[in-house]
Amino acid sequence: MTEENPNANKRRVVLASITVLFILAVIAYGIYYSLVLSQEEQTDNAYVGGNLVTLTSQVTGNVQEIRADETQMVTAGAELIRLDPVDAQVALRQAEAKLGNTVRQLRERYASASQYDAVIEQRKLVVQTAAEDLARRAPLAADHTLSTESVAHARQAVEDAKAALEVSVKQAEAARASVSGVSLAQHPSVLAAKADFIQAWLAMRRNAVLAPVSGYVAKRSVQIGARVTPGTSLMSIVPLDQLWVDANFKESELQNIRAGQPVRIEADLYGGKVTYHGKVVGMSAGTGSAFSLLPAQNATGNWIKVVQRVPVRIALDPRELAEHPLRIGLSTVATIDTHQRAGAMLGAPMPAAPVYATQTLNQPIHEAEVIADGIIAKNLAKAG
């Protein structure tokens, strides 16, 4: 009987141990894949997105001052650009003069309407006098005391007086047609001139171009002395508290992605030191290539299938953004936990409240109306 080699026994134990460890590792990986990896979707084709608010002028003018430059932080309502106000001031004075002149012209019309009423009363007296004269002359003509010609003249005088009365009535109706039923201050011509004054008042205030949101100035294109018109792009403002991530997943990875699912974000700016926590807001209604400037034309003979990607919008936690600021366009890695699949696949419906809003563009119209009413009252007052 031969003695067993102890090294062979030791080798078999080591091999068996390795085999067992390998099997356990495979089982553990299978469990981990089933419970974790199969419930996640990850992509490094993800970039930080945000609002790029373009600042434009609402009026025409020459740039007189620029009060903020690129990389600088501005607050909502701050004056960033001022235009030369001379043209607006002249236009405002012209509108004020037009409003006052309109009021004075209408005062004359209202007075003329009253004057025509007095003329009608005068014409009625003339008709009455002519009729009485005819009544006295008619009996005298019957007994030949007066000539027939004299009576004919009296009768003609009555007809002429009636015709003059009719003309006066028509003139009074025409005069009252433009002023009756409304006070002078509420006359359409006055309201139109008042609206022109308010428009000129607003144009003067809009020579100061205000920041609609708080953020950082980017892409300043305006220069001192430039002539700007409404709609001209002056500069852009990026509100860094309104950022999100657009993760471009392959079409084969979208099956289990739903709105509301939690997401882990790692930005290349901070690496693995910082992890952002967000949630899926929704996904685009089309692939990136479908909305490109030149969409691909696949109806060709040399067509090659290319896996398409669909942008998935991911909202970020504002507190984490405040602690570790990001910038538009930065690269990130997005990992979506797809365990919960009860949410909508495309996204939520439009909310009742505005998604974004600003109050800095509101103007105190009431102040302009008070000034305009003062001009109307001043021109309505009788000279002392």
One domain, residues 175 and 153: yes
Residue 37 lies in a domain: no
One domain, residues 144 and 182: yes
Into how many domains does the chain fold? 2
Alpha-carbon distances, residue 374 vs 103, 188, 221 (angstroms) = 12, 17, 42
One domain, residues 195 and 94: yes
Q: Identify the segments of the chain with pLDDT beneath 50.
A: 1, 383-384
Residue 125 lies in a domain: yes
Give the residue from 261, 285, 266, 347 showing the smallest Cα distance to 41.
261
What is the structure's pLDDT at 347?
Answer: 79
Residue 294 lies in a domain: no
One domain, residues 195 and 105: yes
One domain, residues 175 and 214: no
One domain, residues 151 and 99: yes
One domain, residues 118 and 198: yes
Residue 146 lies in a domain: yes
Cα 374 from Cα 183, distance rounded (Å): 16
One domain, residues 100 and 187: yes
What is the structure's pLDDT at 77?
Answer: 92
Residue 360 lies in a domain: no
What is the structure's pLDDT at 32?
Answer: 64
What is the structure's pLDDT at 383?
Answer: 44
Residue 333 lies in a domain: no
- The residue from 191, 218, 238 where one domain ends is 238
Residue 353 lies in a domain: no
One domain, residues 228 and 372: no
- The residue from 215, 238, 261 where one domain ends is 238
Provide the domain limits for residue 97.
88-203+366-380
What is the structure's pLDDT at 99?
Answer: 95
CATH of the domain at 66: 2.40.50.100
What is the structure's pLDDT at 299?
Answer: 72
One domain, residues 113 and 77: no
One domain, residues 150 and 198: yes
Residue 96 lies in a domain: yes
One domain, residues 146 and 220: no
Predicted confidence (pLDDT) per residue in 149-172, tens digit:
776 777 787 788 778 778 777 777
